[in-house]
Chain A
Amino acid sequence: AQSVSQHNHHVILSEAASLELGCNYSYGGTVNLFWYVQYPGQHLQLLLKYFSGDPLVKGIKGFEAEFIKSKFSFNLRKPSVQWSDTAEYFCAVNALGNNDMRFGAGTRLTVKP
C-alpha cells in the first residue's frame, strides 16, 4: 500500500512569511494527491487536489501545490500566511481508481500575529 511522509511536525511562522510544507509519497503507480486542512475544532476540509494535467495546482485560500513525479513529492506552498492559517495540514495519496487513501502524520502550522 502507498505511504505518505510529511517532513515537518510543527512549523511556526510570522504573518506574511512564506510557507512550504513538504510531502513525499511512496507508491510506484499512478496516484491522486491531496492536501487537507483541519482548523482548530473543525473537521477536515479539502484544500486542493491533483489528479492529472498541470502539476501546479491551485486551491482555496491562496494555497498551491506542485507535483514533482520524479521526486514523488507534492509540496504545499503559500506566499504569505495569515494568522487564520493556523491549523493542521495533512497530505494524502491514493492509487488511481482506489479509495484506499493514506494520510501523512500531519504538520501543525502556527502563525504568529
Chain B
Amino acid sequence: KAGVTQTPRYLIKTRGQQVTLSCSPISGHRSVSWYQQTPGQGLQFLFEYFSETQRNKGNFPGRFSGRQFSNSRSEMNVSTLELGDSALYLCASSPGPAGDYTFGSGTRLTVV
C-alpha cells in the first residue's frame, strides 16, 4: 500500500516569506502528526490532527499552523520565515490514537 507522501521534497525560501507543506497519509489513517527535525534539537513535535481537529500542539510559535481536510490530508503553514526554521519537516500518520506512526520522507526546508 502507498506510504505517507509529503510534498514538496525540497524547498528554498527567503526570510519573511511563508510556506505551505503537504502530507497525504496512508489510506484509512485518520491521525496526522507533524515534526520538525534538526541536528541540534532532534525531533520536535509540532501538532497532531485527528478527524480535522487539532488535538495536540507542541511548543512552537503561532507562526506555525496546520489543518486537516476531510480526506485526512494535512497541510502545515509557516509564516514570516526565519533562518532558524530551516529543517526537515516530517509528517506521520496513524490509524488511531495509539501513536503507531508511519513516517513520510519529509520536506527539507531551507530558509535563506
Q: Footprint of B on A, CB under 8 Å? A: 32, 34, 36, 43-46, 49, 51, 90, 92, 94, 97-106
Residues facing A in B87-101 (CB within 8 A) are 90, 92, 94, 97-101
The 8 Å CB contact of A90, one of B33, B43, B97, B106, is B43
A106:B48 contact, CB within 8 angstroms: no
B42:A105 contact, CB within 8 angstroms: yes
| Beyond known contacts A43-B106, A94-B99: 11 more, CB 8 A cutoff | A32-B99, A34-B101, A44-B103, A45-B103, A51-B98, A99-B97, A99-B99, A100-B56, A101-B99, A103-B45, A104-B42
Q: Flag whether B104 is at the interface (Cβ < 8 A).
A: yes
A99:B56 contact, CB within 8 angstroms: yes
Give CA–CA (A103, B38) in the complex, Å: 13
Task: Decide yes or no: A32 and B98 within 8 Å by CB, A99-B48, A100-B56, A106-B43 being known contacts.
Answer: yes
Q: Footprint of A on B, CB under 8 Å? A: 31, 33, 35, 42-43, 45, 48, 50, 55-56, 58, 90, 92, 94, 97-106
Give CA–CA (A45, B106) in the complex, Å: 13
On chain A, the residues within 8 Å of B50 by CB distance are 99
The 8 Å CB contact of A98, one of B42, B56, B103, is B56
On chain A, the residues within 8 Å of B94 by CB distance are 99
Give CA–CA (A98, B50) in the complex, Å: 11
Give CA–CA (A90, B105) in the complex, Å: 16
